[in-house]
Structure 1
Amino acid sequence: MDVDEHGNKRVFQRLGASNDSGKQHKVCYHWRAGRCNKFPCPYLHRELPAPPPQQHQPFISNGSSSKRPNQGVHDDRSFSGARRSPNFNPTWGRVHGAGAGNRAQGSGAGNRVFRKIEKLCNYWLQGNCSYGEKCKFLHSWSVGDCFSSLTQLEGHQKVVSGIALPSGSDKLYTGSKDETVRIWDCQSGQCTGVVNLGGEVGCMISEGPWLFVGIPNVVKAWHTQNNTELSLSGPTGQVYALVVGNDLLFAGVQDGAILAWKFNAVSNCFEPAASLKGHTQSVITLVVGANRLYSGSMDRSIRVWNLENLQCLQTLTEHTSVVMSLLCWDQFLLSCSLDGTVKVWVATESGNLEVTYTHNEEQGVLYLCGMHDPEAKPVLLCSCNDNTVRVYDLPSFSERGKIFAREGIRAIQIGPGGLFFTGDGSGQVRVWNWSTEAAAPA
């Protein structure tokens, strides 16, 4: 039993003898936190036990460890929630080989590694960090070796809420809460046009040559090949979500309604087709899969709709905060929420969805995007409320990299040839490229 300088009795297990003469066999609490200013300090400035002679230990810069523990390997845990159905996948959350985890950054002599604190250096962001490579904070927009940042597109002044690449177009479209849509040339990366909409862009999608933009009380539709422009009236309040399914365009609206339009080729216009009621607060996210429409809302629920008759089949209430994003992946539905969880849903024998796995994050989760890496392996991009995007292998949820941003990323769009795009709360759009080689700092 030890007594510290404040007279507190602490019991700890002695893990091995120390080579530090005169020091107590206990690790300094303040050193672990990176703020010990005592010299000499009566406690150890390294982890127990002491290393054997002639053996190198990983070096942690300035005595500070990464704020987030290694998430690359998960326990072989059981799944909770659902009964196993014929299409049940028993491998969600289980490791298939070693995950990359949070990789150490920088290098040192021999086996010594300088581990960066996984936080962007504020001085580097301003272009004037004097520590250079010795800085303990990141001088890079990402960690991991699977992708690299190609360029950034500057111009938006507020949150980027939508990114789209219409079919047959050589332009990238980005929408923002600064009430504009910007048009970018995909070859030069230059902004070739700015459309002022007079209202915040809540969402934006493309379907074939059509570009749809949700703003307060209306959905704007542009045909990018013949320059047709239409306004779809009917929404009450901000339009937060758009999706196309079964030849219908669906819009999730601030008043909790889901409106549907069908395109009439004869009159060359979108005609109102239905209004789906049930949510009690704003509909934030919509996705279509397996002949179903799924809607997530600020009322903390997910509703499952039959695409044929537009009837609600089931209401899912397992989330405890706003449902921010939905994703269909094979026979699974993935959902994320400000409650800090990503839930994986699977259909039981009765046809109802139940949770088969829950992945927990330290922060609320803002957006989900699924894609394949260059080896055609499924990957989940998970945008969190701490200005990062975690990149996970599926179905193991082993972390293989992380993307950083000035503010939270609210829009992710998959492009051709291994490209993808992210838009954050500061208005910055960044272009990324998947690679089998190590990523270089941006």
Structure 2
Amino acid sequence: MSDDNELVKADSVTVSTNLPPVFPLLLAVPKYDYRLFNANGKLADVWLQKEYQKLSIKSVSRENRKRNRTGGEQDTEEVFDQDRESTESCDDMIISDTDSNSQLSAAPSSSITSIVAAARENGLVHPPKRRLTSSTFTEAINLSNPVPLVGTNSSSIVYEAMNNSSSTVTTTAVAVSQPQHSQPQRPRTPNAINSPSHTPISDYEEDQPQQLPLPSPSASPVQSGETKISTFDPIENQLKHIPATQVELLELMVNLSGYFNERNQNHLIFRLLQNLNRSSLSTFNELIHNNLRRDLISNLPLEITLKILSFLDHKTLLSLSRVCKNWCKIINNTSIWINLLKRDKLITSDEVIHKELENSEELLEEWSENSHDVNVAQVLYKKRCIIVNRWMDPNYEPLRKSVPVKSDGSKVVTCLQHDDEKIITGVDNKSVFIYSTRTGKLLRELEGHEGGVWALKYTGNTLVTGSTDRTVRIWNMKSGRCTHVFRGHTSTIRCLDIMHPVVIGKDINGADIIFPEYPLLVTGARDHNIHVWRLPINNEDDPEIDERPFDCNDSENPYLIAVLSGHTHSVRSVSGYGNIIISGSYDSTVRVWDLMENGICKHVLTGHHDKVYSTALDFNSRTCFSGSMDSNINIWNFDTGKLLNTLEGHTMLVGLLDLVEGVLVSAAADASLRIWDPKTGKCFSKLEGHTGAITCFEHDGLKVVSGSDKMLKLWDVKEGRFSRDLLNDVAGAIWQVRIDYKRCVAAVQRYRNDEENETFIEILDFSEPPRKRFERLQEQ
């Protein structure tokens, strides 16, 4: 580029002092950049190349006219005068400064004229054999005309008429005229080939005398007699071989197109498409349309595809399954729908999912219209989703059964638990009743306690009850027989919990640590103590034995493991998991007990200012929660005993806490419920609508059912809003309520008249299959 700068400077001085400027662009501000953007050497602009092509042709015309006035050859001037209009608008002339600077023999003007005429007859546009350099052009002009050009280093376009090895003229080129709106410059084939009626030259037609020219990326003039080192080596390497066929020309064009920027590439493609007919455009349209299609699901590895689909909801997945058979097959994957069940909190237990999928025939028969080629997991998701929507739909009326509670005295239901087969209630008149969940029929009445039953829980066929008679009784529910009587507490047993063996960590060898080794029973009483028992399990297939139940004193009982002492007032709540027991007491403290260390009290959590009524435990996050009469909820780290947070908002006793699926719900005597984030302590929602203290509630992470005087309400956990009243004919209190995914079971009070009242067990079933529901409604 330094040689070019010096040339421009020398020419500008000469033009300003001698003759009118031949190249008006010499003094213009450069608008180009020859820097290489990358290793492939893409060019920035080509506009200057075109301008110099035009100006070089003009300069040849002026010099010939000048020589004509001074006695030069007339035939040369005539040639350039005849083609003046074509050369001034020529956009197809390509020059190069990279060929050898070999000296040319002197050629008279008549020879040039004959060459031009021959080129016109043969229909050629550019010389195919050799490309021209500015240095060879200067030598040719100097030999044909002794009059010097303006400036010592001026350059222009010449026509090479001789071969290096022969004096016979083989090729030539002339500028072909084009209108101002002509196509972008490109190599031209003979006129006959440009005609739509002719086919392109093939590789077998290499004996044609016409050859195609080469486009050159640079057109700046160089000094005569000097060898210029090319700056654009990658491009020059492409231009070393002159294409002889259209196949070679096509390969050259494809290679050179890589040096365009993205905008110019698009422009080149557009200009090429402009020359096509409708049939060809239609073919390209179909080709482009098909290539733009990308299967974003099928083309990826299955693991990545399943990961992408795991972020979609069920509506989107069902829509995608209708796109094509391949997508339908992928989306019909069992793991996708099982993960979706867990993510949407429809089923979170692998054991429950496995149990449901085992009964696939019944599931497909009741909840699928087409039982062939259907994914069972997808049908299970459909079932659970329909049931949840029924809960939240105020217009849906569940299948309802009302069962009167058999009672001779007080009719207060103190505790309640249920599953698909049975409903178990404890009443404060010494009795325990077992009802059929499906029919509401009384199956058994368990008698033996001498006082009201205030706590109960069961696992499998084993039922545990605690009473005001200060005893704990173990029952075989299938036979209705009491198998064990545990004595030791000296006051009313107010709360109890059952702890199952679970994995609590890893040992030094990486093996699972399971604790406890067998199920444990934890009981809390008003005598300030907590007892830990080994729970005897009653299997359903055990033979019935008519002998009396096991019954002995506390000191001789082999089932007693530990007595946890430390509280100074009544133990109101106990929660256990693994090796940890959390207890809340009326002494305003919460205590942490570790059974792996012989039941030692690890921490006494002090922070409440009044009685503690409720507790909850999250073993994985190492936190526990306590609700108190001081209207606050405290969050503790039970490993360190540190108070992490205090949740404020309630204005009265927080009597109930429930932590399920990472959602903490509290109920208080101020007639409100609150939904909290147990990790941050943020209150998501405040549920208001009850007119009195909340007496009972339960939630499953999706919905909350709460009871108070004359009200049983349903709330949407995700939306944090009221959904519907589940019962509208309750005249008294709601004693207890329990829910699962398809049923709500509540113990409610009704008045026959102003003096007498009666307690009922209300069963609301939202899981009736669509076909059965339709048949039932038709019968009604």
Query: Could you tell me how far 1:188 is from its partner in structure 2?
Result: 3.2
2:599 maps to which residue?
270
Q: What's the CA shift string for 1:144-185, capped at 9, x where partnerless? A: xx976454745467664322224xx53111223443333332
Cα distance in structure 1, aligned partners of 2:481 and 2:600? 36
Structure 2 match to 1:47: none
Per-residue CA deviation, residues 267-303 of structure 1 (Å, 9 max, x unaligned), is xx31221110011111110012344211001111111
Structure 1 residues 301 and 424, CA gap change in structure 2 (3 angstroms): farther
Report if aligned partners of 1:367, 1:410 keep a CA contact under 8 Å in 2.
Answer: yes
Aligned to 1:211: 521
What is the RMSD of the two structures over their aligned residues, measured on CA atoms? 4.7
Q: Secondary structure at the match of 1:217?
A: coil
Equivalent residues in 2 for 1:275-354 (5 A)? Answer: 275-289=604-618, 290-346=621-677, 351-354=680-683
Stretches of 4+ aligned residues off by more than 6 angstroms:
101-106, 403-407, 417-426, 428-433
Gaps of 5+ in 2: 1-388, 409-436, 501-518, 537-557, 750-756, 774-780
Aligned to 2:706: 382
2:18 aligns to what?
none
- Against the structure 1 CA distance between its residues 276 and 384, is the aligned structure 2 distance closer, same or farther, given a 3 Å change threshold? same
Residues of 1 paired with 2:534 and 2:606: CA distance?
Answer: 29
- Establish whether residue 227 from structure 1 lines up as the match of residue 559 from structure 2: yes
Distance apart, 1:121 and its partner CA? 9.2
**Matched residue, 1:398:** 723
Q: 1:97 to 1:391 in 2, by over 3 A?
A: closer
Deviations 1:195-235 (A, max 9, x none): 45431112111111111110121001111147244311111
Matched residue type, 1:210? L
Residues 104 and 308 of structure 1: CA distance in aligned 2, closer, same or farther (over 3 Å)? closer
Paired residue type of 2:659: C
After superposition, the C-alpha distances for 1:384-426 in whole angstroms (9 at most, x for unaligned) are 355x765656546424745989975368698xx9899878999
395 and 413 in structure 1: CA distance in 2 versus 1, 3 angstrom threshold: closer
Is 1:170 aligned to residue 480 of structure 2? no
Distance 1:243 1:100, change over 3 A: farther
CA contact (8 A) 1:160 1:411 kept: no
Higher percent of residues as strand = 1
**Matched position secondary structure for 2:599:** strand
In the other structure, the counterpart of 2:569 is 237
Write the distance in 2 (CA, Å) between the matches of 1:430 and 1:211: 28
Q: Structure 1, unaligned stretches of length 5 or more?
A: 1-93, 107-117, 127-145, 373-377
Alpha-carbon distance between aligned partners in 1 of 2:742 and 2:699, rounded to the nearest angstrom: 13
Which deviates further from its counterpart, 278-287 or 363-372? 363-372
Alignment correspondent of 1:41: none
Checking the alignment, whether the CA contact within 8 Å between 1:254 and 1:282 is kept in structure 2 is yes
Cα 1:393–1:179 change in 2 (3 A) is: farther
Task: Decide whether the 8 Å contact of 1:172 with 1:186 is kept in 2.
Answer: yes
3-state SS of paired residue (2:692):
coil
- What secondary structure is seen at the aligned counterpart in 2 of 1:320? coil
Shift in Å at residue 237 of structure 1?
1.2
1:358 aligns with 687
Paired residue type of 1:436 = S
Judge conservation of contact 1:150–1:433 (CA < 8 Å) in 2. Answer: no
Change (3 A) 1:404 1:147: farther
Q: CA deviation at 1:337?
A: 0.7
AA matched with 1:214:
G
Rounded Cα–Cα distance in structure 2 between residues aligned with 1:240 and 1:423: 22
| Seq. identity, % | 19
Q: Secondary structure at the match of 1:398?
A: strand
Change over 3 Å in CA distance of 1:263–1:395 after alignment to 2: same
User: What is the CA–CA distance in structure 1 between the aligned matches of 2:576 and 2:747, rounded to whole Å?
Assistant: 22
CA distance in 2, matches of 1:331, 1:422: 25
Structure having greater relative contact order (Cα 8 Å, sep ≥ 6): 1
| Cα shift at 1:329 | 3.2
Task: Tell whether the 8 Å contact from 1:159 to 1:424 is kept in structure 2 after alignment.
Answer: no
C-alpha displacement at 1:263, in angstroms? 1.1
Output the CA distance in 1 between the equivalents of 2:564 and 2:737: 23
The aligned amino acid for 1:238 is S
Name the CA shift for 1:419/1:329 in 2 (closer, same or farther; >3 Å).
Answer: same
Contact 2:400 2:764 in 1 (8 A): no
State the TM-score, normalized to the length of structure 1. 0.55
- Residue type at the aligned position of 1:183: I
Contact 2:633 2:654 in 1 (8 A): yes
Give the match for residue 182 of structure 1.
Answer: 473
Q: Is the 8 A contact 1:297 1:324 kept in 2?
A: yes
Which whole-Å CA distance do the structure 1 matches of 2:450 and 2:703 have between them?
Answer: 30
Output one character per residue of 1:223-269: Cα deviation in whole Å (capped at 9) or x when no partner. Answer: 1147244311111111001112573211101110111111137xxx3
- For residues 732 and 467 of structure 2, the distance between their equivalents in structure 1, rounded to whole angstroms, comes to 16
Query: Are 1:98 and 2:393 an aligned pair?
Result: yes
Q: 1:413 to 1:210 in 2, by over 3 A?
A: farther
Aligned CA distance change for structure 1 residues 406 and 316 (closer, same or farther; 3 Å): same
Please give the alpha-carbon distance, in whole angstroms, between the structure 2 residues aligned to 1:423 and 1:121.
9
Q: CA deviation at 1:352?
A: 3.5
Number of equivalent positions = 301
Contact 2:730/2:748 (8 A) holds in 1: no
Q: 1:233 to 1:419 in 2, by over 3 A?
A: farther
